[in-house]
Amino acid sequence: MNTNSVQEWEKYWIDHEGSLFGKASRIYRKYILSFHVKRILGVYFQQNGFYVDCGSGSSESSMRLKDINKSYIALDKSSLTLRNAVNKFDNLTGIAGDIFHLPYKSESIAGIYNLGVMEHFDQSEIVDVLNEFYRVLKKDSFIILFWPYQKGFIQLMLDSVTYFLTKICRIKFWYTPEEITRLNSKEHALSIINNTSFKMEKIYFSFHDLFTHYIVVAKK
């Protein structure tokens, strides 16, 4: 899949939502991950202003943010997914946009977060994205990146299923667009942040999301 193609992303979401894997993913996002998102964002997102989910997809993982009195923007290149996202809660606005060229003035955004986005880019693209985040963020604000762990239980299980179906059974199957930069350690995350102007604040890794993500928190 070409991860820069809007059409291919929209096809992915259409196929994904109706599949068994898609239904299982929705359960995880709604009943496990969303609680962790609310917990972490509640700690760091304290400024007044807009908070942007850059690469929002369905926004199901953000659904419990409706209880936090802030203004949120779901930004995604796919208008199809945004139409579904904005129905999740009232204080969420959908914007179609490019994560490399955010449609915001410098130092105008109170915080940025995303879930399962950064791993789809290579190292140089990640630095470009983070520098764009830095440009639009207000001083002393945070980015919070839920970044899949290379050896997370869920990732290893799904990779094994994919290998079995595609290599052994010769069945066409893939559960996610290519993830070329999963994090393999906290040091890996720090090395990436150190290539930008951000300062690392904290890295979380816990049972709250079944040890699926490193949660990278960095400050402008």
pLDDT (tens digit per residue) in 2-44: 455 666 666 666 666 667 667 777 888 899 999 999 999 999 9
Helix axes 186-193, 123-136, angle to 10 degrees: 60
| pLDDT tens-digit series, residues 101-143 | 999 999 999 999 999 999 999 999 999 999 999 999 999 999 9
In this structure, of 1-15, 78-92, 193-207, the range with the lowest mean pLDDT score is 1-15
131 by Cβ neighbours in 10 Å (0-12 / 13-18 / 19+) ranks as middle
Rounded-to-integer distance, Cα 46 and Cα 27, Å: 29
Q: Is 113 helix (H, G, I), strand (E, B) or coil?
A: strand
Q: Which CATH architecture has domain 6-219?
A: 3-Layer(aba) Sandwich (3.40)
Largest CA distance in the chain: 53
Q: What's the CA gap between 164 and 171, in Å, rounded?
A: 9
Tokens of 56: 């929002």
Show me where the domains of the chain are located: 6-219
Q: Where are the beta strands (DSSP E) in 11-55?
A: 50-54
Are 108 and 85 within 8 A, CB to CB? no
Amino acid, res. 93: T
For a pLDDT cut of 70, what percent of the chain falls above it? 79
